[in-house]
Chain A
């Protein structure tokens, strides 16, 4: 992996303009090139690992750098690999308990529990899984603990369908081969607002094509919350008061915290206000 990492470290930062952390914070240190420079130096030296261990967390793993790269560098995998090598392992992950026996499970990962409103709107009963760490996100960004989390998740939700409003959780569920539906699909409600395309939304028309990730995801939001907030503040500045629809609860909440008039998937469920 080290020769491949060096290719990024020696590149003239050609992907910097698509990196949402580099653009949103303006910091040179957040460019994939700068991060992998620290990794390269760490790989080549015996003792200097501290900076690299911190630098690999200046990322939201959105993968835009990979999409843009002209030489197909696997940047996210390089950073996950470096994180695993350079940082201590976290304590083992315990999966959250599913409450209820309904075949469809509402994955509640944010501040608002939307399951009751959705149940009222659709007349369908849901089991609930509340997660405070987006289904082991911190474990899934490492190569040594990722598979175990996915396996535990698969066992926990075996045979059930999930409803998720968050791209981070959806990603984990999909990796565990769990069928996932979105709130929009179940409720058949979609607000009439311009859509802010976050990093893991399907491509489509958007209100801004420059900062495509709001900073809500790990590792950045866990390790550098101040910079994650700087990213949402930058989006607030760019939107200049415009209201938007964000098809991702986690991102919507992150942007709302910054003062953005953001409407998330849960907000469009009828009776949600009640």
Chain B
């Protein structure tokens, strides 16, 4: 291995064990457990390169191809699934010196950044000039933008601003076969591979540059806690808020155990602790002499612990937040009030406590490991109609092996994510059994196995199962861009994974609307049908297409540039497509998933799509308002639809439509009228 050839390109390269040692692993708790229980760490990579430009990244990959060396891209190593785990003999490309903000475009609200910039540094610099990306994962201090796109990250304000997929408008990557431009940077004659680069976890190449949406720093932020009698009642409120187009920045629902044990209604900070980890730590710290036993005893009997937790009552805490221009927030709060009427208003404290300590949970992990246990998290997602089953199924699976609690966050119009926190006896056997059961349970309940933590080694096999026959799409593109299979092998899918071609479901009949789900606000439609015909059929059932394209959906999606849609607009959910040999690929409609790349767009181009799940809205629900509002940007107000002259709101946004605008020049109030039902 001729490292000097690489150094001659001006790249900092080290093969010192002192440095290599830190790149053996990321934050996958299994590797932590293995280190603590067996004193073992993954193998050493061969070298670490720290390029400072895209050209230097290309030189690294070129060198690796020439030498036949596997490449592992490394951001800040905060992944919890082993995605950036080092491999024996590999070249680590550490991207953290590729960390500049290249250009800020306030008019188009975009920022061009290099992929190695740490999230906190990006936000700190943007905040100085009044902007933000609004991407705020709890790992923000220890994660990079490249990692966000590689593992499909979601931040704590995603219900308003979207996950990082939604925020990313363009990307540039270096691959073994050359430079790849995606999204808005895609050359006119090439396929846009941004969805497939998203979530590829370094398996296609190394992302070097990103074009990301900007948001203005909010003028005001409103946070409040509400107590509901049951999880179901609170989930109904969450769904209602999202489907009324009110775009809360925060919707976090703690399950009964997390509400009670976590003390979410009380003050909680990093030192006293909250959540399951804080509770275990606090329990143990009451008697340091018995610390180990106090932790190990309940963790040896997780079933008992979970039963005690559940017996504490059904009341749950929902934290709701809105942010943006003052006029918009004030009006939105009034629109939200009736939807929260079944909750007991706890005032601002729970929300403000959460906001102040929202990144503290990570401090609570160390004491659990030190006491001989393990702690981990699992984030799954599904549409609203399957959310309850998914919660019970995964919770039940985790409960057999660990003490578990959960919260629901990252809400969408169509569904939501569930975030499980669990702690158990610190053995690899227990760890592996826990995850085996939980991943199977998520799949059995019709959820995606990962919402925003990515795949890594931990979920690679489960992600491949979830992709089914659509894995062919990945394999084909991987072969084109990385013919020697050198880029982060085994991630996001196992190296030996085969597409599951066993599904041969028949094509649906009876279109153009095959199915309609009013709970999720999704319709299953014929992608080749005339949208006006679909619209008529939906009107008969009281709904409208949320987006009415000028051509059949399949062709529209095929040509749609993701960046032409606003951050809150998602035109496509699930789909079923048939390959030439009859094998059927189905991607079910989780609102967002991080189970590998977003295969839907490329699948639609490579196989015959038989149905698509697309968003709908209640028909005749609109209020229209004149669009002449010089002090408000429609990106902050978010009408359901707009033209040059008119903004259309849903009835759920009535106060917003009435109150948030300044009078027109002649002093007359904005015109508001219900749209005539057609």
Contact = CB atoms under 8 A, between A and B. Distances in A.
B583 to A, nearest CB: 41
B353 interface: no
B369 A10 contact: yes
Given A7-B366, A10-B370, A27-B94, A15 B141 contact: yes
A207 B387 CA distance: 49
Nearest to B99: A26
Contacts of A44: 39
A16 B363 contact: no
B77 A10 contact: no
A55 interface: yes
B96 interface: yes
Contacts of A209: 124
B370 A3 contact: yes
B116 interface: yes
A11 B365 contact: yes
Interface in B1-27: 12, 14, 17-19, 21-23, 27
Nearest to B273: A71
A209 B128 CA distance: 11
A17 B18 contact: no
Contact of A45 (B12, B32, B39, B270): B39
A41 interface: yes
B362 A14 contact: yes
Contacts of B141: 13-17
B362 A12 contact: yes
A157 to B, nearest CB: 38
B142 A29 contact: no
A26 B50 contact: yes
Contacts of A28: 19, 22-23, 48, 74, 76-77, 94
A274 B499 CA distance: 78
A81 interface: no
A236 B333 CA distance: 48
B241 to A, nearest CB: 31
B121 interface: yes
A25 to B, nearest CB: 8
Interface residues of A, number: 38
Contacts of B94: 26-28
Interface in B92-124: 94, 96-97, 99, 116, 118, 120-121, 124
Contacts of B76: 13, 16, 28
Nearest to A13: B142
Contacts of B121: 17, 23, 210
A17 B18 CA distance: 21
A230 interface: yes
A29 B27 contact: no
B120 A17 contact: yes
B21 to A, nearest CB: 6
B362 A29 contact: no
A187 B610 CA distance: 82
- Give the one of B19, B32, B77 with max A CB within 10 A: B19
Contacts of A72: 271
Contacts of B249: none
A29 B19 contact: yes
Interface in A180-197: none
A58 B116 CA distance: 21
Interface in A147-182: none
Contacts of A25: 50
A66 interface: no
Interface in A12-68: 12-17, 23, 25-29, 31, 34, 37-38, 41, 44-45, 51, 54-55, 58
Contact of B365 (A8, A10, A234): A10
Contacts of A8: 366
Contacts of B124: 209-210
Interface in B253-271: 270-271
Contacts of A15: 141
Given A17-B121, A230-B12, A71 B142 contact: no
A10 B96 contact: no
A230 B94 CA distance: 15
A26 B97 contact: yes
B637 to A, nearest CB: 33
A55 B18 contact: yes
Contacts of A70: 270-271, 359-360, 363
A6 interface: yes
Interface in B355-404: 359-360, 362-363, 365-367, 369-370
B78 interface: yes
B18 A54 contact: yes
B560 interface: no
A130 B141 CA distance: 42
A4 to B, nearest CB: 10
Contacts of B35: 41
A34 B359 CA distance: 20
A76 B48 CA distance: 27
B139 interface: yes
B19 to A, nearest CB: 4
Contact of A13 (B77, B359, B369): B77
A124 B279 CA distance: 64
Interface in B36-79: 39, 48, 50, 52, 74, 76-78
Contacts of B78: 12-13
A3 B563 CA distance: 50
A23 B271 CA distance: 26
Given A11-B363, A71-B363, A51 B18 contact: yes
A12 B368 CA distance: 13
Contacts of B14: 27
- Give the one of B39, B141, B362 with max A CB within 10 A: B141
A81 B139 CA distance: 29
Contacts of B270: 70-71
Nearest to A28: B22
Nearest to A237: B52
Contact of A31 (B17, B22, B120, B362): B22
A165 B363 CA distance: 38
B23 to A, nearest CB: 6
A26 B18 CA distance: 14
A125 B35 CA distance: 61
A11 B362 contact: yes
B97 A234 contact: yes
B382 to A, nearest CB: 27
A72 B363 CA distance: 11
B370 A7 contact: yes
A12 B19 contact: no
Contacts of B22: 27-29, 31, 34, 37
Contacts of A38: 21
Nearest to A31: B22
A209 B35 CA distance: 36
Contacts of B271: 70-72
A68 B66 CA distance: 44
Given A10-B32, A10-B366, A26 B39 contact: no
- Give the one of B365, B367, B370 with max A CB within 10 A: B370
23 contacts: A7-B366, A7-B367, A10-B365, A11-B363, A12-B27, A12-B78, A13-B27, A13-B77, A14-B141, A14-B359, A14-B363, A17-B118, A17-B120, A17-B121, A25-B50, A26-B99, A27-B50, A29-B21, A31-B22, A34-B21, A44-B39, A55-B18, A210-B121
Given A14-B142, A16-B118, A25-B50, 10 more contacts: A7-B370, A10-B366, A16-B142, A23-B96, A26-B94, A26-B99, A27-B50, A28-B77, A29-B23, A58-B18
Interface of A: 3, 6-17, 23, 25-29, 31, 34, 37-38, 41, 44-45, 51, 54-55, 58, 70-72, 209-210, 230, 234, 237
Interface of B: 12, 14, 17-19, 21-23, 27, 32, 35, 39, 48, 50, 52, 74, 76-78, 94, 96-97, 99, 116, 118, 120-121, 124-125, 139, 141-142, 270-271, 359-360, 362-363, 365-367, 369-370
Top 3 nearest A-B pairs by Cβ distance? A10-B366, A70-B270, A26-B96
